[in-house]
Structure 1
Amino acid sequence: MPREARIRPRTDADLPALASALVEVHARDGYPVEGVADPRAWLDFPGLRHSWVAEVGGCAVGQIGLSGPGGEDAARMWAAYTGGDPSRVAVLARLYVLPEERGAGLGERLTRTAMDHARDHGLSLVLDVMAKDRAAIRLYERLDWTRLGEAAHHVEGAASVPAYRYAWPPSTK
């Protein structure tokens, strides 16, 4: 019998469990490609506006965040593609779920929570996803995100990694 899961706003008390989960996800999937030398800083990054966790059995097992557009290339690409105001964009970031909790739709529920928040606040969303992260790409495409184009994600001290840029809601351009 599957354990009950809930999606809720993230709190500081969730950060130790999420940092540990991030290290596990990186070891298995190579996400994030930047590595996890300081997982807590990666999770609680400057510009973070909102974040939510997937909680199973009282423990945070995954998370998602929204940040402002800042200097994000995806936000600039969205503005060029749509002609829209980049101040009305948020960046979907830091989505992951512990491997043993996958398959129950938690990644989709986290993503839909962020999408609902964006819709309720009149925002469009953008993101970069590494080309190697096929499951994430399938999720975004299933949820009707628009692929804006390709990009190279630069990792300090390493070769760049192929990535795609997506936007939601779907554009009518």
Structure 2
Amino acid sequence: MESVTVRPFSDDDLTGAAEALVEVHETDGYPVEGVDDPEAWIKSEDVLAAWIAESDGRIVGHVAVMKPQGEAAADLWVKQSGDDMGHVGVLARLFVVESARKQTAGRQLMEAAASHARDHGLRLVLDVMVKDASAIRLYERLGWRKIGETIHHFGNGETIPAVCFVSPSA
């Protein structure tokens, strides 16, 4: 497998990113929602910026920085820091196909999002399902700090425990 390159997301990437998302859902059960219409989930109106990871001409990962939309992590960070919601971005829609995980695709995607956040005066937060242990390990390795816990609601009244993180300070 070639090395992974990360670049800004474009509309031409939508089909490939949706295919990668469905593959990740099949191997990891992530995301718990959104796979019924993966293109709409990836290209939400709340996305401020997004990137894809590519290897051998194939999209193998994705990440977005989104406007806060009632995420527990955003609310917790504003309460704990005194910052206002206008200075908060949500790291979201992060996924990497299994075959690309040893190539630092997740780290490179997170670094692209973090760089964007710094350039735009945003502090990044995220909610991650407790079951997604490898994602939690990545966030902790990159210096993200746990700021609380929540319950993620999805589907038809379903819930799953989640942990809230904030990015390292700039």
For Structure 1 versus Structure 2, the TM-score category normalised by the shorter chain is over 0.9
Name the amino acid aligned to 2:152.
H
Q: Which runs of 5+ in 1 are unaligned?
A: none
Which structure has the higher relative contact order (CA within 8 Å, separation 6+)?
2
Contact preservation (8 Å) 1:149, 1:166: yes
Further displaced range: 162-171 or 5-14: 162-171
Q: Offset at 1:158?
A: 4.6
**Residue 69 of structure 2 aligns to a residue in which SS?**
coil
Q: Quote the offset at 1:28 in angstroms.
A: 0.9
Contact residue 3 and residue 103 of structure 2 kept, 8 A: no
Name the structure 2 match of 1:75: 74
Structure 1 residue 35, shift from structure 2 partner? 4.7
> For 1:35 and 1:71, how far apart are their aligned partners in 2?
17
Please give the alpha-carbon distance, in whole angstroms, between the structure 2 residues aligned to 1:170 and 1:149: 17
Deviation string 1:37-89 (CA, Å, 9 cap, x unpaired) is 00101100121110001011122111000111233232111010111122100
Letter matched to residue 58 of structure 1: G
Q: Is the 8 A contact 1:146 1:170 kept in 2?
A: no
Contact 2:71-2:127 at 8 Å conserved across structures: no
Q: What residue number does 2:127 align with?
A: 128
Distance 1:28 1:168 in 2: 27
1:135-154 Cα distance to aligned partner (Å, 9 max, x none):
10011111111111000001
Question: SS of the residue aligned with 1:136?
Answer: helix
Task: Name the SS of the counterpart of 1:102 in structure 2.
Answer: helix
Is 1:99 the counterpart of 2:98 in the alignment? yes
- Identity, in percent, stands at 47
List per-residue Cα deviations over 1:89-146 (Å, max 9, x = no partner). 0000000111111211100110011111111222100100000000100111111111
Unaligned segments of structure 2, at least 5 residues: none
Residue 164 of structure 1 aligns to a residue in which SS? strand
Partner of 1:48 in structure 2?
Answer: 47
Alignment length, in residue pairs? 170
1:7 matched to 2:6: yes
Instruction: Tell me how large the CA RMSD over aligned residues is.
Output: 1.4
